[in-house]
């Protein structure tokens, strides 16, 4: 279990999302909650804290997120690899994933959707730019609130490579001395 | 040194890009070649093989890529961490990065830009959708040719976390048995 989550600057969400881990997107619409896995996303800006995601319209979550204009990014770690795999291979049309996978709903501050208590971090998001939603299923969100567990400082995240396999995050190496401007 | 690169299916580029490694983008315009680092990108589609990138307009490469409509994604590995850091902290306005960092230009098949021979993989790209270039510096490219070193099968990639530090790719773990549809 991670240490309790603390408030974290939204402009620094890239610290956890830029390295490319698979994340769990929770959403709520019309009295229903759901979770999907997501690996096709990128950071887009520090301030406002923007990121973009390709969410396939085949996902149950697609309409929930499009209609609510909200979602939460939850960051899972290697101990959750089975749960992550199962979430990505089941449909919210058929099961309640929170119940099925024994996940705890925690209240978000600014978004009407549940965060996943067991995850290392949560990023509450509002839809910011839907220009490419109709043509490419590409959503741009603003992170309006971030909460991150204080320990471990470098969580062992999962990075999907296809074929049912994940790379897990390895060592951290600094080359700060070679950086002229550290962001 | 990696083994020689072989042709690789463009639809499977996600195998290397979805886990989120920092990549080196090479480009050519008006008789000049340049290289930039990129961590803000995502896979968008298998076929056509699309990916999207936020390329800051402050980069020398921005105009080169916008005008040529082409670029090459080169995948570096942990042995190149110093070179990657230096490329990301210098400007093509001031130096020739191929010369300065002793990188070897290799010829691309479909794109008029040099690939970086020392990298594990190269993905030749053409600009596919510029809808969000003016408003958000977000370019969507199609990968038209992929070449990947055969070994190692799982290259030790670098994943930038800000502050001059990188996570290196760790172990690979399969959960294929939990996947209902493996892509």
SS3 B120: coil
Query: Is pLDDT above 80 for B2?
Result: no
Residue showing tokens 């951290």: A172
Using the 8-state DSSP alphabet, how is residue A163 labeled?
Answer: T
* Model pLDDT, residue B3: 84
CB A41 within 8 A of CB A53: yes
pTM, 2 dp: 0.97
Q: Which of B17, B23, B37, B42 to mutate to test the interface with A (most CBs of A within 10 A)?
A: B42
CB A6: neighbour CB atoms within 10 A?
11
* Model pLDDT, residue A176: 96
Residue A171 to residue A25: CA distance in whole angstroms: 26
Residues paired with residue A41 on neighbouring β-strands, in sequence order: A53
Closest CA to B163 of A41, A173, A156: A173
Whether A42 sits inside 8 A of B40 (CB atoms) is yes
Query: Is pLDDT above 90 for A182?
Result: no
Q: What ipTM describes this predicted complex?
A: 0.97
Whether A170 sits inside 8 A of B165 (CB atoms) is no
CB B51 within 8 A of CB B146: no
- Which chain B residues have a beta carbon less than 8 Å from that of A81? 173, 175
* Model pLDDT, residue B183: 77
Q: What confidence tier does A1 reach under pLDDT thresholds 50, 70, 90?
A: low
Nearest CA in chain A to B80: A175
Residue B110 to residue A54: CA distance in whole angstroms: 27
Q: Which of B80, B101, B159 to mutate to test the interface with A (most CBs of A within 10 A)?
A: B159
Give A152 to chain B, closest Cα distance, Å: 14
Whether A164 sits inside 8 A of B171 (CB atoms) is no
Tokens of B122: 């190269």
| A24-36 pLDDT per residue, tens | 999 999 999 999 9
By Cβ distance, the residue of B41, B53, B170 closest to A168 is B170
| B120-151 pLDDT per residue, tens | 999 999 999 999 999 999 999 999 999 999 99
Closest CA to A139 of B132, B60, B25, B8: B132
Query: Is pLDDT above 80 for B176?
Result: yes
CB B54 within 8 A of CB B136: yes
| Residues B148-163 as b or e (16 or more Cβ within 10 Å = b) | bbeeeebbbbbbbbbe
| A95-150 pLDDT per residue, tens | 999 999 999 999 999 999 999 999 999 999 999 999 999 999 999 999 999 999 99
| B58-113 pLDDT per residue, tens | 999 999 999 999 999 999 999 999 999 999 999 999 999 999 999 999 999 999 99
- Which chain A residues have a beta carbon less than 8 Å from that of B20? 18-21, 159
Whether B45 sits inside 8 A of A52 (CB atoms) is no
Q: Which of B128, B154, B162 to mutate to test the interface with A (most CBs of A within 10 A)?
A: B162
The arithmetic mean of pLDDT across residues A141-163, rounded, is 97
Closest CA to B25 of B85, B75, B68, B69: B75
Query: Is pLDDT above 90 for A57?
Result: yes
CB B33: neighbour CB atoms within 10 A?
18
Q: What sign results for the dihedral spanned by CA atoms A109, A115, A117, A120?
A: negative
Whether B168 sits inside 8 A of A168 (CB atoms) is no
DSSP-H helix ranges across chain B: 14-17, 60-68, 81-88, 97-100, 133-136
Nearest CA in chain A to B176: A164
* Model pLDDT, residue A2: 67
């Amino acid at each position: 279990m991670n240490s309790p989550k603390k408030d974290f600057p939204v402009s620094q969400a890239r610290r956890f999302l830029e390295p490319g881990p698979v994340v769990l997107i929770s959403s709520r619409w019309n009295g229903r909650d759901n979770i999907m896995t997501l690996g096709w996303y990128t950071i887009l800006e520090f301030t406002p804290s923007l990121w973009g995601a390709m969410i396939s319209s085949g996902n149950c979550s697609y309409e929930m997120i499009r209609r609510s204009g909200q979602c939460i990014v939850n960051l899972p770690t290697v101990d959750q690899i089975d749960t992550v795999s199962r979430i990505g291979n089941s449909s919210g049309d058929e099961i309640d994933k929170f119940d099925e996978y024994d996940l705890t709903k925690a209240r978000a501050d600014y978004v009407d959707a549940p965060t996943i208590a067991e995850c290392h971090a949560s990023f509450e998001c509002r839809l910011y730019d839907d220009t490419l939603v109709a043509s490419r299923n590409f959503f741009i969100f603003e992170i309006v609130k971030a909460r991150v567990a204080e320990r471990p400082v470098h969580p062992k995240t999962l990075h999907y490579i296809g074929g049912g396999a994940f790379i897990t995050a390895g060592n951290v190496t600094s080359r700060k001395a070679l950086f002229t401007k550290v962001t």
